[in-house]
């Protein structure tokens, strides 16, 4: 694929944004902004960055050096975002190699020279560990690259490092705080620093939003890409399960897990998605993607993509936060003006589906983690879920703020031949698919469904844990169907996103609609790192 394909006409004219007046729950707090706009590549996109490589304005090494310097200034000091667990010690060397290849006329792919971070539950076979944020895995070095890491390297991306996360992708215990891990500590929201980044792909979202990386890869089982994306004002794509391989990704659920791209624009997320897709013999779910995946999703991006679309408005998350509702209704009005027809949808699936999903996750968590530990070879520090539980009980930090109830519940389960598991799996899939999203979309002849992705970020509370108010990730997550979130506006200084989800393998139409909405509204604003006083 030619690199020039991505050097398109879309250029960002960026300006310095002034702080919004804080009101409601933060109205009484005096705010102080950290000056962080003096970054050469602030809010640049892939096309702009690669144009600079071609023009000779800067080298890939210079770009990597600049991002690493910014990480040192903002993530490790200053606002202290704690979004990155470890820096790739070979990042500069890899950049120099890519500069050499470009000078010789060899462009690896559409991400040639683009800085990216991986959530630290995605394996890399290099000088970085893969920890899942757990102190049990601080010295765990996988025996090979994950499929995701392999695809990114072949596409020319520079892996800057590993992003912090909610430990074990936020499926370890009760009363957890999103963005906290025993290895990385608590990740902060870059818009208002005492607010939570959501999770579990917390560091991935924060780093992209704070311009510490051009792109990041997150993973989602239910909400772990879209929630941190909405809370940190970026674009997140949770693909159809099977579109992107999970081999080499520390698992929760074989049925629901998927990696996905996180970016500041739909265009950049679409470019990255195309690099990630493919058939991987090590992940049987990808076999279903044969003939259904693309290596170039930018072909579906259309500024007029809302015209003639029938879109369902999912009502369940509405009525819980009038400020979010107000933003959603403004989005609906915009879509109608662009030629879309909006149809109210009251229910997608029954409450029982959530219970089935939880049981499926527990069974598959035990099975998947044990298999992952086995993949690390005989020298692995942890060889089973049972050993992990024992490690946490003895550690001085791991259980300081919350327990490991979900690990313990998973350990109590049988294997994947149990009738209870098979019945829960069948009931979940039927309730979320043919009696859920597919039924609703067939009934109303829909192209997509929309809903607010979540509420504004809550204040981080390590004692009481997260304070979720609303969300819309579950229908698509339980079905294994795609979901894209895009910035929708702000409640005071805090961003809120809108989700576009639909049938399996419907990424092309969802991207078309999401791109048209993004280009017509352009809500994305760089964070100001506000510190309450």
Please list, residue by residue across 256-290, b when 16 or more beta carbons sit within 10 angstroms of its beta carbon and e when fewer do: bbbbbbbbbbbbbbbbbbbbbbbebeebebbebbe
CA 424 – CA 12 distance, rounded (Å): 48
pLDDT at 365 over 60: yes
Model pLDDT for residues 29-77, shown as the tens digit of each residue? 334 444 477 999 999 999 999 999 999 999 999 999 999 999 999 999 9
pLDDT at 513: 99
Q: Are strands 215-220 and 310-314 parallel, antiparallel or unpaired?
A: unpaired
428 falls in which pLDDT band (50, 70, 90)?
A: very high
Average pLDDT over residues 508-533: 97
List residues with catalytic annotation.
119, 200, 224
Q: Where are the alpha helices (DSSP H) in 277-404?
A: 322-337, 352-375, 385-394
Rounded mean pLDDT, 183-206: 98
Q: What confidence tens digit (pLDDT) does each residue in 336-355 have?
A: 999 999 999 999 999 999 99
Q: Are 505 and 437 in contact (CB under 8 A)?
A: no
- Quote the pLDDT of residue 7: 37
Percent of the chain at pLDDT exceeding 70: 93
Instruction: Give the model's pLDDT for residue 1.
Output: 43
Cβ atoms of 18 and 525 within 8 Å: the answer is no
Q: What is the mean pLDDT of residues 70-86?
A: 96
pLDDT at 37: 79
104 burial via Cβ count (<10 Å: 0-12, 13-18, 19+):
exposed
The model carries a pTM of: 0.93
Best CA proximity match to 205, nearest among 182, 173, 249, 237: 237
Residue 488 tokens read as 């929708």
Tokens representing 18 are 């002034």
Q: In the chain, what are the domains?
A: 32-532 (3.90.1300.10)
Average pLDDT over residues 368-388: 97
| Range 170-176 average pLDDT | 98
| Other residues' Cβ atoms within 10 Å of the Cβ of residue 174 | 10
Res 273: pLDDT: 99
What band does 314 get if pLDDT is binned at 50, 70 and 90?
very high
The answer to whether the CB of 135 falls within 8 A of the CB of 395 is yes
Is 271's pLDDT higher than 90?
yes
End-to-end CA separation in angstroms for the chain: 51
Do residues 181 and 165 touch, judged by C-beta distance below 8 A?
yes
22 pLDDT exceeds 60?
Answer: no
Strand partners, 451: 499
Q: In the predicted model, what is the mean pLDDT of residues 386-397?
A: 98
Cβ atoms of residues 261 and 213 within 8 Å: no
Under DSSP, the state recorded for 497 is E
455 against 38, higher pLDDT: 455
pLDDT digits (tens, 9 = 90+) for 412-427: 999 999 999 999 999 9
């Amino acid at each position: 694929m030619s690199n020039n394909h991505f050097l398109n006409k879309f250029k960002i004219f960026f300006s310095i944004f002034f702080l919004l007046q804080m009101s409601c729950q933060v109205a009484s707090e005096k705010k102080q902004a950290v000056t962080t706009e003096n970054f050469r590549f602030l809010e640049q996109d892939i096309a702009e960055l690669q144009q600079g490589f071609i023009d000779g304005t800067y080298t890939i090494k210079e770009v990597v050096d600049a991002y690493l310097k910014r990480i040192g200034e903002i993530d490790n000091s200053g606002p202290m975002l704690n979004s990155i667990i470890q820096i790739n010690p070979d990042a500069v060397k890899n950049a120099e190699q890519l500069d050499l290849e470009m000078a010789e006329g060899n462009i690896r792919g559409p991400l040639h020279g683009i800085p990216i971070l991986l959530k630290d539950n995605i394996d890399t076979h290099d000088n970085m560990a893969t920890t899942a944020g757990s102190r049990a895995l601080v010295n765990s070095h996988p025996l090979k690259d994950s499929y995701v890491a392999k695809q990114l390297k072949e596409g020319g991306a520079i892996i800057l490092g590993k992003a912090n996360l909610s430990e074990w992708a936020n499926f370890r215990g009760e009363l957890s705080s999103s963005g906290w891990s025993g290895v990385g500590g608590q990740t902060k929201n870059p818009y208002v620093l005492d607010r939570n980044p959501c999770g579990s792909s917390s560091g991935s979202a924060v780093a992209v939003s704070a311009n510490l990386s051009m792109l990041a890869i997150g993973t989602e089982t239910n909400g772990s890409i879209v929630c941190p994306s909405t809370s940190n004002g970026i674009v997140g794509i949770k693909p159809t399960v099977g579109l992107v391989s999970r081999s080499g990704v520390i698992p929760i659920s074989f049925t629901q897990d998927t990696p996905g791209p996180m970016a500041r624009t739909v265009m950049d997320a679409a470019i990255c998605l195309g690099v990630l897709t493919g058939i991987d013999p090590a992940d049987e779910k990808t076999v279903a993607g044969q003939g259904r995946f693309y290596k170039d999703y930018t072909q579906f991006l259309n500024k007029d993509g809302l015209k003639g679309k029938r879109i369902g408005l999912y009502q369940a998350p509405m009525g819980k936060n009038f400020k979010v509702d107000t933003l959603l209704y403004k989005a609906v009005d915009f879509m109608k003006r662009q030629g879309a027809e909006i149809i109210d949808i009251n229910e997608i699936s029954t409450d029982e589906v959530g219970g089935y999903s939880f049981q499926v996750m527990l069974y598959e968590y035990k099975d998947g983690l044990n298999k992952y530990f086995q993949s690390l070879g005989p020298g692995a520090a942890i060889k089973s879920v049972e050993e992990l539980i024992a490690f946490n009980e003895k550690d001085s930090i791991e259980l300081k703020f919350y327990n490991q109830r979900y690990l313990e519940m998973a350990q109590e389960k049988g294997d994947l031949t149990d009738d209870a598991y098979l019945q829960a799996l069948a009931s979940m899939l039927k309730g979320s698919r043919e009696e859920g999203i597919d039924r609703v979309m067939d009934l109303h002849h829909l192209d997509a469904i929309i809903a607010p992705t979540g509420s504004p970020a809550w204040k981080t509370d390590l004692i009481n844990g997260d304070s979720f108010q609303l969300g819309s990730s579950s229908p698509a997550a339980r079905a294994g169907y795609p979901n894209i979130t895009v910035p929708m506006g702000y409640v005071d200084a805090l961003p809120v996103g809108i989700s576009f989800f639909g049938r399996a393998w419907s990424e092309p139409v969802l991207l078309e609609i999401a791109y048209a909405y993004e280009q017509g509204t352009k809500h994305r604003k760089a964070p100001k790192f506000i510190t309450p006083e």
